[in-house]
Amino acid sequence: MNQDGPRRLLLAQVSPGAELPELSYPVTATTVVLGAMASRDWRPMHHDKDFARDRNGTSDIFLNTPSLAAWFERFVTDWTGPYGRIRRVAFRMLGSIFPGDTMVFRGVVTALGTDGTGCGWADVDVSVSVDGEAKTTCRASVALPVDESDNPWTRRGDRWQPQGP
Amino acid sequence: MSLPVDTAAIDRMIGIGQYEEEGEFPVERGYIWTTCSSVENGNPLFWDDEVAEQITGGPIAPPTMVSVWFRPHHWAPDRATAGLPLQVHFDLKTAFGLPEAVMSENTIVFYEPVRPGDRLTTRQILRSVSGEKTTRLGTGRFWVIDVDYRNQRSERVAVESYTGFGYRRAAGS
């Protein structure tokens, strides 16, 4: 923790159409296997190239969905800082990501608001692409502090409404 | 080729909670750190106990890890074969005779934070099954399965919804 405490992105500092800082990452077999093992996904298409090719019809092993979810979370919270509390995520898998690919995460703020409990939120459309082709998209909603004294993580019970708006 | 279909049996599964089970081990920090490391997530909530205490009242797990805590061990001494996560998905593959499957959509809504030491319980609920469809992968069916996650205090921590596509590859592909 620095002297000023952890970074706190406030709702008022965000505008619709704002872009999240881009993240580019070269994927290796280690990236795929590490993500699969970290998420306890033992299925062979995420570590066995022959299986992936023969049974899934893909060219190589590929990133699993829980690992991609962790990548999306990291991308969003790199932007918000630790006070950002993800409310919900919706992924759409369009294509696989393989060793040798460079995956590029981009995001844009699509909507902002405050719910009936006073919780600030921002919706962001995020995508990960390879060579300009979207491989997975993610529509995420993240709670943001409305001022310096607010902390979305303290919300519980009826004061936490992650399913909407 | 036509697929074997027992729609009445499948219809009876829809909306019914199945496979209620507790995770095989408590939420623990080793997997939290391994996951953060695997995606180079430097969020101080997971690495700096002082920050975690200040913001979240102590350490928590990354919310998107919620499914990690119920994936079974690949092997366990009291089990003859490897366990399968999201068993309803595999039941549907078997029921429809579809050898291959992929997940096409995944939605997660997050409620109470998950903390080290929590014992999570899950329940799987089949929401829908489509008619037969052909995609570039092959011919099969889409289905939607919800997973309801609760902690040891019966507080909901997440609801996850999966859209799967079970299929048979086209001949020659």
Residue B153 lies in a domain: yes
Residue B2 lies in a domain: no
Q: CA-to-CA distance for B120 and B36, rounded, in angstroms?
A: 20
- List the end-to-end C-alpha distance of chain B, in Å, as a whole number: 15
Residue A117 lies in a domain: yes
Cβ distance A38 to B108 less than 8 Å, yes or no, reads: no
Question: Could you list the residue range(s) of the whole structural domain that residue B113 is in?
Answer: 7-168
Q: With helix as H, strand as E and coil as C, how does chain B read? A: CCCCCCHHHHHHHECCEEEEEECCCCCCHHHHHHHHHHCCCCCHHHCCHHHHHHHHCCCCCCHHHHHHHHCCCCCCCCCCCCCCCCHHHHHHHHHHCCCEEEEEEEEEEECCCCCCCCCCEEEEEEEEECCCEECCCCEEEEEEEEEEEECCCCCEEEEEEEEEEEEECCCCC
Residue A2 lies in a domain: no
Position A51 scores a pLDDT of: 96
Residue B173 lies in a domain: no
Which residues numbered 8-47 in B keep a CB inside 8 Å of some CB on A?
31, 34-45
* Minimal C-alpha gap between B11 and chain A (Å): 26
Which pairing describes strands A85-93 and A133-144: parallel, antiparallel, or unpaired? Answer: antiparallel
| Partner residue opposite B103 with nearest CB, options A39, A85, A93 | A93
Q: How many angstroms separate the most distant Cα atoms in chain A?
A: 56
Residue B123 lies in a domain: yes
Position B106 scores a pLDDT of: 86
Residue A138 lies in a domain: yes
* Domain count across chain A: 1
Residue A1 lies in a domain: no
pLDDT band with cut points at 50, 70 and 90 for residue B83 = low
Position B14 scores a pLDDT of: 94
Condensed to tens digits (0 to 9), the pLDDT of residues B143-158 reads: 999 999 999 999 999 9
Strand spans (E) along chain A: 23-26, 85-93, 102-114, 120-130, 133-144
Residue A6 lies in a domain: no
Disruptive mutation site among B67, B93, B100, B110 for chain A (greatest number of A CBs within 10 Å): B110
Task: Enumerate the β-bridge partners of residue B161.
Answer: B107, B146
Which pairing describes strands B17-22 and B100-110: parallel, antiparallel, or unpaired? Answer: unpaired
pLDDT band with cut points at 50, 70 and 90 for residue A85 = very high
The residue with greater pLDDT, B1 or A41, is A41
Averaged pLDDT score across all residues of chain B:
91
A93 has a chain B CB within 8 A of its CB: yes
Question: Could you list the residue range(s) of the whole structural domain that residue A27 is in?
Answer: 11-159
pLDDT band with cut points at 50, 70 and 90 for residue A1 = very low
Q: CA-to-CA distance for B144 and B125, rounded, in angstroms?
A: 9
Position B172 scores a pLDDT of: 63
Residue A3 lies in a domain: no
Interface predicted TM-score (ipTM) = 0.95
Cβ distance B39 to A35 less than 8 Å, yes or no, reads: yes
Provide the CATH number for the domain around residue B12. Answer: 3.10.129.10
Provide the CATH number for the domain around residue A74. Answer: 3.10.129.10
Shortest CA distance from B105: residue in chain A: A92
Cβ distance A163 to B74 less than 8 Å, yes or no, reads: no
Averaged pLDDT score across all residues of chain A:
95
| Partner residue opposite A82 with nearest CB, options B45, B68, B71 | B45
Which residue's structure tokens are 């936490």?
Answer: A160
Shortest CA distance from A5: residue in chain B: B51
Predicted TM-score (pTM) of this structure: 0.88
Residue A165 lies in a domain: no
* Domain count across chain B: 1
